[in-house]
Every structure is written in structure tokens, then in C-alpha cells.
Amino acid sequence: MNRLYALLATLAAPALLHPRLRAGAAERLMRTTAPRCQLWIQAASAGECRLVAPLLAALPTPLSILATATTTQGRDFLASCAPQAAVREITLHVRHQPWDHPALVGRLLDQAAPKAVVLLETELWPGILAACAARRIPVTVASARMTRRSFARYLRLRPWFSSMGPALVAAVSPQDAARFAALFPQAQVEVIPSLKFALALDPEETPPADLAQMAAATSPVLVLGSVRAEEENMVLALITHLRALAPQAGILLFPRHLHRIATWQRHLERAGIPFRLRSGNHPIAPGEVLLGDRFGELRAAYAMAHRAFVGGTFVGGGHNFLEPLAQGVLPSIGPHWEHFAWVGKPVVDQWVTVTATPQEAARSLLLPAPPRHAVRAAFAAAVAAQADGARHIVRLLTPFLEPLSQP
């Protein structure tokens, strides 16, 4: 089965030409030497990479870590963590994830020689698992989530996956824990709070002065964040309804992936909706759309919003609606948020407005909003007890980390 997967990974290599993967080809194909490390942490996109920050704050030191990301945006975020990690005597090396071919992953493992590997959240990389199993390197899946659909797909391959499964799984809910335990019966599985709760207690973002100035002539400021390609038509309808209901509003639109910016420009032009690119640094007038084409500004935009809509929820399983709440902004979402069911229904019932249609979402975004500082303080108090996920993960890693005390 490993040989079959290696063949499939070879045949799928042209996917490296995709805009999201094209950058960093030398690292992805292991044409550059990986630095030696004690611990390898693999994240996927920027959302997962943000979870590395609370881990860096909790891991014992001194320590040498290799952190890899699938996307360039995620890699850039990891690189931004290096100076703060150095303050804690953590040497943080950052690279693109190698293409998930057992031979390429094996080359990285042989060069870097980590004593343990951590995978974050949802991605079970067969190439990584197989290469680690061949070298008896223990793998931990941290802040682990698995949807019902993914579980059904993995279950068909259970004999293969269980033969190279992780040693530890720190799952974010009992449902996720049960799925991982069924797939990997030999693994130690525990339920721990998601690392995303720790991010919810990060210091409040301060919007860049130029971004705030760009929307200064509009009121209210409404943010549509993490919009996925599959729901673009519905979000376009949402924008149309918002402009009809609130002609003075400023609409800040942030696609989930920056390579969709050109597509959104065409959507807005065809619909006759005036817009400006964030990178142009020109103020928007009431009723205009500010199209966010800079990476890393969504949370800052939430911090200046009246209300926010979180995408991936009209079609899909949802994106992180804790992010606007952490900035004191009440979020609205579509009907699909199963990927974030681990947050808990009480949190959703109290803080989140679930809508079924673009019209309903538009009306919810224009409801009165309490002061951001009051929302932020109340939400932080509500989730404070669940913000110690990193400490629990380090506790589970302790048997593997003890030999790493000497870098």
C-alpha cells in the first residue's frame, strides 16, 4: 500500500504547479537541505500555522524546532514567530512542507533528524506517517479534528492507516476522539481544548492607520471574512442586499485565498458594484467594497467592524468565528458550521447568529452591536478555562521531549 501511495504521490506531482503550491518548489522537492532539529511541527495553511504560536509559548526550552507549512502564507506567518521564539531560547527553522511522497519526507527526516513530529488539526499526511513509522519517530496529532466525511473515507483504509498511525492524539471533542480512536486503536487519545481558544485571548488587534482611514467615510463597517470560492455567488448576493439596506455602509471583503482576488474583481465588475483594492490605499465611499488583497489583515479588520460575516458557512463546514469574537465583534454565519461544532452549542447560542440565506445574513449584520470592549471582555471570561490546550499538549509530549533537554 505504501508503494501504491508513493506512485499516486508521484502522479499527483503536477499539482505543484497550482498557484498556492508553486512558490518554494526547491523546499517542497527537497532540493535544499533541511536544518537539524529536535522537533518537527507540520501545519497546513495560515489558520493551522497560527496554532504554532501557543505551542511555542508552552514548550520547554532550550529547543530546536523545524516548522513547515503547506502554503506560502502559512510559511510567512511561521517566519514571523521566529524572533519571539528566540526570546524563549527556541531556534525556529521554517520551510515549506515537502511534497507528501515517502521518499521526499524520508529525505527531510534523515537530514533534520527530529526525535518527534507534531501534525496540527485535520491533515493526516500518509507520506509523513509512513516515513516516521519506518524510522520509529513518534507522531502526535495536536488539536486534532476529524469530520464525519473524512472519518468514513479514512475508515476504508483503516488497516493501512493503523499500521503507521500516530502515537498520541490530542482531540478537541469527544466525537473527534472517538473517530481517531477507531482509526488508530494503538494510539493514546485524549480530549483537550482546541488551541484556537488560546488564540482568542491574544492581545486585541490594532487596525493599521491606513486601513482604518480607508473606511473612515463609511458607517457601519461590515466585514465579510474567509469567503470560500464555493460560496462566492451567495456572498455576492449578500453584498447586494447590504448595499440596498444600508447605502452608507462600507463593506470589507476578504477572500479565504488571495488567488481569488482577480475572480472577485470580475464578480464585482459584472454586478456593477464599485470596489477598491486594499493595496491601492485609497478611501472607499459609502456603498463601495474594499477588497482585501493583503495577507494577514483580517483580524485587524474585525477589530474595526460593526459586525462580521464568517465565510465557509454558506457552503462547507465553516471557518473560525472565534476570531471576530476575540476582537469584540459579534459574528454571523451561514447554516454550515459542523467543522467548528467543538466550540460548543452554548457559545454559538450566546454569541453567534446563524443565518440560512444571504438576505437573512444581511439583516443580521445591520442589527445594533454592543461595544466591542464589552463583547471582548465577556467572551474572554467565558473561554478562559479552555485556553490551556497548549499546556495539555506539552504534557502529552513530555515522554518524547525529555530526551530533548540537551539541544
pLDDT tens across 231-256, in order?
Answer: 999 999 999 999 999 999 999 999 99
The four Cα atoms 65, 68, 72, 74 give a dihedral, to 10 degrees, of -70
Q: What is the mean pLDDT of residues 192-217?
A: 91
pLDDT at residue 285 in the model: 96
Domains of the chain: 2-200+387-404 (3.40.50.11720), 209-385 (3.40.50.2000)
How confident is the model over 221-228, as a mean pLDDT?
Answer: 97
The confidence score (pLDDT) of residue 406 equals 47
DSSP calls for 4-70: HHHHHHHHTGGGGGSHHHHTTHHHHTT-SPPPP-SEEEE--SHHHHTTHHHHHHHS-SSEEEEEEES
pTM over 0.95: no
Q: How far apart are CA 331 and CA 322, in angstroms?
A: 8
- For the cut 60, the answer to whether the pLDDT of residue 8 exceeds it is no
pLDDT in tens, 359-387: 999 999 999 999 999 999 999 999 888 89
Question: How many angstroms separate the CA atoms of 197 and 321, rounded?
Answer: 11
Residue 248, phi then psi, degrees to nearest 5:
-90, 0
User: Alpha-carbon distance 266 to 262, whole Å?
Assistant: 6
Give the DSSP H or E segment for 223: strand 221-227
Q: How far apart are CA 399 and CA 312, in angstroms?
A: 38
Nearest-angstrom CA–CA distance, 29 and 42: 16
What mean pLDDT comes out for the span 203-230? 94
Give CB contacts under 8 A, 24+ apart, made by 347-350. Answer: 347/382, 347/383, 350/382
Is the pLDDT at 205 greater than 90, yes or no? no
Pull the grid cell for residue 307: 459586525
Provide the b/e sequence for 257-276 (b: ≥16 CB within 10 Å).
bbebbeebeebbeeeebebb
Q: Which helix (H) or strand (E) holds 142?
A: strand 139-144
Consecutive H or E run containing 233: helix 232-245
Selected residue with higher pLDDT from 385 and 98:
98
